[in-house]
A and B are shown apart, each in its own frame.
Chain A
Amino acid sequence: MTETFVPPTRFAVPGRIAVSEQAASVWQTATLTEIRRETPRASTYRFAVPGWPGHVPGQHLMVRLTAEDGYTAQRHYSIASAPDASGHVELTLDHVEGGEVSGWFHTVARVGDRVEVRGPVSGFFAWPGDRPALLIGAGSGVVPLMSMVRHHRARNLAVPLRMLVSARSPEELIYARELGAETTPVFTRRAPEGVPVGRMAAAHVAPLLAEQPPGGWEAYVCGSNSFAEHASRLLVTAGQPVDRIRIERFG
């Protein structure tokens, strides 16, 4: 018998993007070609990956570091760069206190170093640029969202795109120089003159949901778990359908 499984809600859409088994299972060597400081705690790492199969904005990859005794550590990292034909991908890493992998990147890594990568893995939190997108992130949660913003710009897409991003202070706002009119920053500890300090609130989300584009927003929420819980609740309260909210939790 081949009974087709009927999911109980519309959420059960598989990934929007089919993930290539091949790409998801093969480790490739990536060479670090550039390191750029973004904020006192975050830097961007650009890699040449000769066999990179390409990605969709929002997807992530796995990084694996191997010690001399064979010990390995692997972590997920969202791809920051827009898909392009350069043979490169960029990641932006927060320096996590006591972090094994982010610690290596921030204190040891230099141009020319090689690490292993695998992916892209997960087609769920992916945005090919087809539907209006409402992006909400905090801290390094802005990384996959920036890939979407960059893609939108690089392709001159006309589909509506808005981003709300929360950072502790202007100095800790990743990609600050690159953010444009599509972005509203929210500062939780210290803000520029005249900008209020405080947590992301209903007042930030409501105007965006009031100006619904035709077909409605596809919402993408990314950050720590507590931020993801908070932001997704704001969205639901403001009327965003739950099956049109995708969440990437960094843990």
Chain B
Amino acid sequence: MHITRGFTGRPRVDDPGLPPGQYDAGDDWPVLSAEVTPDLAPADWTFRVDGLVAEPRTWDWEEAHRLPPSAYEGAIHCVTSWSKFGVRFAGVSLDAFLDVVRPHGSATHAVAYSHTGYTTNLPLADLTGGRAWIAWEYDGRPLAPEHGGPARLLVPHLYFWKSAKWIAGLRILDHDEPGFWERNGYHERGNPWEEQRYSGD
């Protein structure tokens, strides 16, 4: 590590809620996506889970909304170094979808893909046990299109590029398959507490 002459950085607050290298973006919610924000109406939204499962299944907007509601309130962390606290998302726990399709015992990973074709990979263990959601509400209102509305994946304990916007489906696999940013130099898992930003971190 090389000390930069004259660089002191901003006065640091020792905030135990803030992962290393992150700052609190406050009310800001920057948008970082590589594609055009799609024009996707709830009526056209579907969510499919297939691959290594007993019963592949596709839900439409209404069907997904009949699953038991579940909410997340807490922090989110973007690899570009902002974090946001006290965010409130509502939707359905991913467990509710997985309970229906029943992944095989050999399943270890998933590729999440969006209606735009964006992809990201996740270990199945990061998607189960009440740690991941399909979210369609933010702060009591429908999720805005530029933030992934009508519905996005939400995996708040990992960097936010894992929380695929405009979520279209999950393919359940018995191996890891890098997604869009992972093939572009980002870390396979993306745990903010370990600063897993780029491959090799």
Interface of A is mostly: mixed
Known: A7-B119, A15-B183, A67-B4. A242 touches B36 (CB 8 A): yes
Mask, B29-44, CB within 8 Å of A = 1, is: 0111111111000000
Mask, B143-176, CB within 8 Å of A = 1, is: 0001000000000000000000000110101110
Complex Cα distance A114/B7, Å? 11
The 8 Å CB contact of B199, one of A24, A71, A104, A123, is A24
- Is B45 on the interface with A (CB-CB < 8 A)? no
- Is B6 on the interface with A (CB-CB < 8 A)? yes
Q: Nearest CB to that of A20 among chain B residues?
A: B185
List, sorted by A's number, 24 A–B pairs whose CB atoms are closer than 8 Å. A5-B177, A7-B119, A8-B169, A9-B117, A14-B183, A15-B183, A19-B183, A19-B184, A19-B185, A25-B200, A62-B198, A65-B4, A67-B9, A72-B1, A73-B81, A75-B81, A76-B80, A108-B5, A108-B7, A114-B2, A116-B1, A225-B31, A232-B36, A236-B36
Q: Nearest CB to that of B121 among chain A residues?
A: A5
Interface positions of A from 134 to 175, Cβ below 8 Å from B:
none
Decide: A66 and B199 in contact? CB cutoff 8 A. no
- Is A179 on the interface with B (CB-CB < 8 A)? no
Q: Which residues of B contact A15 (CB under 8 A)?
A: 183-184
Q: Which residues of A contact B171 (CB under 8 A)?
A: 3, 5
Complex Cα distance A71/B180, Å? 30
- Is B19 on the interface with A (CB-CB < 8 A)? no
- Is A248 on the interface with B (CB-CB < 8 A)? yes
Decide: A12 and B118 in contact? CB cutoff 8 A. yes
Decide: A3 and B51 in contact? CB cutoff 8 A. yes
Complex Cα distance A109/B2, Å? 15
Decide: A8 and B168 in contact? CB cutoff 8 A. yes
Decide: B198 and A24 in contact? CB cutoff 8 A. yes
Known: A5-B113, A8-B117, A25-B199. A14 touches B8 (CB 8 A): no
Known: A12-B119, A19-B184, A245-B35. A121 touches B6 (CB 8 A): no
Count residues of B near A (Cβ-Cβ below 8 Å). 49
Nearest-neighbour CB distance to chain B for A206, whole angstroms, equals 18
Complex Cα distance A5/B37, Å? 23
Decide: A249 and B35 in contact? CB cutoff 8 A. no
Nearest-neighbour CB distance to chain B for A242, whole angstroms, equals 5
Complex Cα distance A229/B36, Å? 7
Complex Cα distance A229/B32, Å? 11
Decide: A249 and B200 in contact? CB cutoff 8 A. no
Q: Nearest CB to that of B6 among chain A residues?
A: A108
Q: How large is the interface on A (under 10, 10 to 19, 20 to 34, 35 or more residues)?
A: 35 or more
Complex Cα distance A8/B114, Å? 8
Decide: B185 and A21 in contact? CB cutoff 8 A. yes
Nearest-neighbour CB distance to chain B for A231, whole angstroms, equals 10
A67-B3, A229-B146 provided; 16 other pairs, C-beta below 8 A? Answer: A2-B175, A5-B113, A14-B183, A15-B184, A65-B9, A68-B8, A72-B9, A76-B80, A100-B9, A113-B4, A115-B4, A122-B184, A225-B32, A233-B36, A246-B34, A246-B35
Q: Which residues of B contact A108 (CB under 8 A)?
A: 5-7
Decide: A66 and B2 in contact? CB cutoff 8 A. yes
Q: Which residues of B contact A245 (CB under 8 A)?
A: 35-36
Nearest-neighbour CB distance to chain A for B167, whole angstroms, equals 11
Decide: A5 and B119 in contact? CB cutoff 8 A. yes
The 8 Å CB contact of A124, one of B119, B184, B201, is B184
Complex Cα distance A118/B2, Å? 13
Nearest-neighbour CB distance to chain B for A195, whole angstroms, equals 29
Decide: A247 and B34 in contact? CB cutoff 8 A. yes
Q: Nearest CB to that of A243 among chain B residues?
A: B117
Complex Cα distance A67/B5, Å? 8
Q: Which residues of B contact A116 (CB under 8 A)?
A: 1-2
Q: Which residues of A contact B117 (CB under 8 A)?
A: 7-12, 243
Decide: A125 and B34 in contact? CB cutoff 8 A. yes
